[in-house]
Chains A and B, each alone.
Chain A
Amino acid sequence: MSEKKLGWKSLSIGGYLLEPGSAMKYKTGDWRAFKPVIDQKKCINCLLCWIYCPDSAIIRLEKYVEVNYDYCKGCGICANECPVKCITMVEEER
């Protein structure tokens, strides 16, 4: 996160956010310690992971799902819920 931070004069009053949807700009993916990796050959597209993911970080595709790593915080809920155990949590290397 290297962008220049606003000072008190340029920040909106009281820290109000004046444009909607600005949370999209806050990429929380770098909080992750473990990363979910999906074996898409085994995925039955049941979408349980999509329902359970607290960060809406599962992307639905036609035959299987994939992870949006910009927002996935690596909580592991998807791996825990997957009925066919095709999601593995792999330690991030930094």
Chain B
Amino acid sequence: MGKVTGLTGNEAIAYAVKQCNVDVVAAYPITPQTIMVEVISEYVYNGEIDAEYVCVESEHSALSACIGASLTGARVFTATASQGLALMHEILYVASGLRCPIVMGVANRALSAPLNIHGDHSDMMGSRDCGWIQIYAESPQEAYDWIIQAFKIAEDHRVLLPVSVNIDGFILSHSMERVEILEDGDVSKFLPPRKPFITIDPTKPITVGALCLPDYYFEVKFQQIQALKESFNVIREVNAEYETLAERKYGFLETYAMDDAEAAIICLGSTAGTAKAVAMDLRSKGKKVGVIKPWVYRPFPEEELIKAVGDVKAIAVLDRACSFGAPFNALCSDIIATLYRHGKDLRVFNCLYGLGGRDITPNDLKIIFEEALEVAKTGKVKEYVKYVGVRE
């Protein structure tokens, strides 16, 4: 058993990174992630961790430095948000393509323009096809727990892919909550030093990132597709091992009150917390509603989702990032595609909400639940994509 403390999302991630004995951190501060790297740089300055902190001039350089460090066999962490993640976009693909098990904390924030510093998922959703494993946490506790697991998943030789752990900007990054932290020694036992599959060594020269023409490129990319498939097993194993250590259960998704639910909300991150509270309230009034919260967004947990959906008749999928011009926003598209692929014919509608950090209130969620119950009853969707709270 560890001890209980109060930490913000940013601090919880920084603390987990410290306990994971990272070797190199290269990052550029950006709101609302700043405190995450500020705290880590203090740990390095105070000698609390034996790590190299590389001050870089941009996020593009931060991730580039991380790749170089990762190739030497180091355990590497970086963090960013919003425009910073957008600036990394090019290098995100290099990190996954070169199979560097980097872990990154993202304090999700809206993208410009208009300029906005508050939380939505536009940043990570805009890079969702970059080949990284992508995890969304609901609370500082979950962010802490997932960072520790993320290193173990990323560094497993069956995976060797970078992992991002996402927390909602400000809502989680800056709110202090109760966090149960493990003993340093327990984390070290759970996560021994990294064993790289190959390292850069001047006595045994290798070439990394060589030109790969049409005759080989596809095969190398297919290796990544396979690695993401392999990661399902690894994530399952790591979750199970972590549960015995921390007595907290993780998986690809969390279900709440889904057993006999007729209608459900599916959403990522902190909104799930509010949705669960509203569902509990509606349940006490006899309304059969539940919540599904995917933790792991990439690779997308199809089987787990189908199991979680059970006999629900209607689903409202909440997206906090806009896929401009698309039939549905990103999470909803993935859900509908999964249901189609598994022959599940049930009614789904999409709610775009919370852009630029706009609050989603319990009342908003109550209205969505009630509409989902109505759809479950009538079997008819009135509006396929709703824009929660937008003024005319």
Chain A residues with CB under 8 Å of chain B are: 5-8, 11, 13-20, 22
Contacts and interface: CB of A to CB of B under 8 A. Distances in A.
Contacts of A17: 206-208, 210
B197 A22 contact: no
B219 A7 contact: yes
Main secondary structure of the interface of A (DSSP, over half): loop
Contacts, number: 48
Contact of B207 (A5, A11, A16): A16
A14 B205 contact: no
B216 A11 contact: yes
Interface string B208-244: 1110100111011011001000000000000000000
B351 to A, nearest CB: 39
A15 B99 CA distance: 10
A8 B212 CA distance: 13
B160 interface: yes
Nearest to B221: A8
Contact of B223 (A5, A8, A20, A22): A8
A18 B197 CA distance: 12
A14 B216 contact: no
Q: Give chain B's interface secondary structure class.
A: loop
B98 interface: yes
A20 B220 contact: no
A15 B211 CA distance: 9
**5 residue pairs, one from A and one from B, having the closest CB atoms:** A17-B207, A8-B219, A15-B220, A20-B205, A14-B99
Contacts of B198: 13, 16, 18
Interface residues of B, number: 21
Given A8-B222, A8-B223, A15 B216 contact: yes
B215 A5 contact: yes
14 contacts: A7-B219, A8-B220, A8-B223, A8-B226, A11-B216, A13-B197, A13-B198, A14-B97, A14-B99, A15-B220, A16-B207, A17-B208, A17-B210, A18-B198
A28 to B, nearest CB: 12
B208 A11 contact: no
B262 to A, nearest CB: 45
Contacts of A7: 219
B172 to A, nearest CB: 33
A13 B198 CA distance: 10
A6 B215 CA distance: 10
Nearest to A10: B219
Given A17-B206, A18-B198, A20-B205, A11 B215 contact: no
A43 B336 CA distance: 73
A9 B220 CA distance: 9
Contacts of B210: 15-17
Contact of B206 (A5, A6, A20): A20
A14 to B, nearest CB: 4
B144 to A, nearest CB: 30
Contacts of A5: 215-216
Interface in B96-122: 97-99
A11 B220 contact: yes
A16 B223 contact: no
Contacts of B205: 20
Given A11-B216, A20-B206, A20-B207, 10 more contacts: A6-B216, A8-B223, A11-B223, A13-B99, A13-B198, A16-B208, A16-B210, A18-B206, A19-B206, A20-B205
A11 B219 contact: yes
Contacts of B222: 8
A8 B99 CA distance: 14
Contacts of B99: 13-14
A16 B206 contact: yes
Nearest to A19: B206
B170 to A, nearest CB: 37
A16 B226 CA distance: 17
Contacts of B215: 5
